[in-house]
Amino acid sequence: MRNKIALVNGHIYTGSDNFIGQALLIHGQHIHGIFPRHAVPDDYEIVDVDGANICPGLIDLQIYGTGTDLFSADLREAAVHHIDQQLLAQGCTSYLLTLATNSLALFKEAIAVFLAARSSVAIGLHLEGPFLNAQKRGAHPEELIVKAQRAAIQDLLADAEGAVRMMTVAPELLDDDCLQLLLDAGVLVSAGHSTATYAEGLTAFAKGIKAATHLWNAMSGLHHREPGLPGAIFRDANVRASIVVDGIHVNYEVVRLSKQLLGERLFLITDAVGACSSGPYQHVRQDDHFTLPDGTLSGSALTLLGAVKNCVEQVGIPLDEAIRMATVYPAALIGQANIGSLQGGTTANVLVFNKDFTVRTVYFHGKEVV
């Protein structure tokens, strides 16, 4: 197995800089660094990428499944591993496996399965619910949305072993003690599916909520007399917001305005689901997105590299910044400095993609997997 690899003849995007005419050196499971082509040591195998782009592996903090795989409907270790492989093939090398609002019993079962699967690609779970506002439920079944209770949260997290990395909540309905319990457990709390006013949003952010889930979707609106949750997101400089850039969840012009307002605080997610014909989430594929049988928008059919492409081609965001929206910024939000970058010493998760945004090669922990 190749242990030392030098990727040459590509445009390298490290996350902070970009280079042409340089080589990216991978040594085992880590990035060794960026070197001039003539300075590559003799014991490195040269891999010519023929002018392709080289960047960190992409990071998706909200994805429920791929293709016909929906984790909440198929709680098996094999399902987790299959989603892992599908995402690696798309250039996504780290992700939070997400479950939408469901019973607490199902969440606990999902946590147990996830822990048993010991995925090396999924870095945790994102629970979107069940502590949401039914008025902004979207595709979430109203009968499964519940009021947060301290005992329920303690029971949910009792055997989670830190697997629950992120939770989306309606901040206006979450008591302070429940919020503090989640924060003390190391859960990244994100505001979403919410009718929060501007004041309620700012108050929640001041108390420790540092993220917002799928900006614009399933939240109070931005109005000239009531700025709502979006206004609070724009106002608080410490809050990062995810956004689904498929042209369906959010109009591309609104993405452009959001980027101008949030800058480095806006990051990409897919909010992608898998086709499913049973259970509370019966996702029906509609060409480029998914709906419930009644037509309610229920998820995207987006890949994260596709979101990067849309940012560049539809929104006008420079490629290096679009890459950061899918690497650097989500990594910073979850506090993982070892991914989302090609700096020396970081994990060797690397995506090589062609000018037409098709995947060419993927390295995961230094090993070529695509």
Instruction: Identify each DSSP E strand in 28-121 by its residue range.
Output: 30-36, 45-48, 53-56, 58-63, 65-66, 69-70, 92-100
Residues comprising the chain, all counted: 370
Q: Please give the average per-residue pLDDT across 34-47, as a whole number.
A: 96
321-367 pLDDT, tens digit per residue, is 999 999 999 999 999 999 999 999 999 999 999 999 999 999 999 99
152-165 pLDDT, tens digit per residue, is 999 999 999 999 99
* 236 or 287, greater pLDDT: 236
Q: Is the pLDDT of residue 126 over 90?
A: yes
3-state secondary structure of 43: coil
**pLDDT confidence of residue 281:** 86
Q: Is the pLDDT of residue 67 over 90?
A: no
**pLDDT confidence of residue 283:** 84
Q: Please give the average per-residue pLDDT across 36-61, as a whole number.
A: 97
Annotated catalytic residue within 60, 84, 246, 271: 271
Give the burial class of 355: count Cβ atoms within 10 A of its Cβ; 0-12 exposed, 13-18 middle, 19 or more buried.
exposed
The rounded distance, in Å, linking the Cα atoms of 183 and 165 is: 10
Location of structure tokens 């709502």: 228
Band (2; pLDDT cuts 50, 70, 90)? confident
**pLDDT confidence of residue 284:** 85
pTM, 2 dp: 0.97
The class of domain 58-333 in CATH terms is alpha beta
The rounded distance, in Å, linking the Cα atoms of 235 and 203 is: 12
Question: Which of 3-17, 204-218, 281-295 is predicted least confidently?
Answer: 281-295
**pLDDT confidence of residue 341:** 98
Parallel/antiparallel/unpaired status of strands 266-269 and 240-244: parallel
241-282 pLDDT, tens digit per residue, is 999 999 999 999 999 999 999 999 999 999 999 888 778 888
Query: Does the annotation count 271 as an active-site position?
Result: yes
To the nearest whole number, what is the mean pLDDT of the chain?
Answer: 96
3-state secondary structure of 347: strand
Neighbours of 251 (CB within 10 A): 11
70-80 pLDDT, tens digit per residue, is 999 999 999 99
Percent share of the chain, pLDDT over 90: 91
Within its chain, how far is the Cα of 367 from the centroid?
Answer: 23
Instruction: Report whether 116 contacts 156 (CB < 8 A).
Output: no
128-144 pLDDT, tens digit per residue, is 999 999 999 999 999 99
**pLDDT confidence of residue 279:** 82
CA distances from 22 to 7, 35, 163 (A): 9, 6, 38
The rounded distance, in Å, linking the Cα atoms of 165 and 152 is: 17
CATH of domain 4-55+341-368: 2.30.40.10
Q: Where are the domains of the chain?
A: 4-55+341-368, 58-333
Instruction: Report whether 53 contacts 66 (CB < 8 A).
Output: no
Q: Is the pLDDT of residue 1 over 70?
A: no
Q: Is the pLDDT of residue 63 over 60?
A: yes
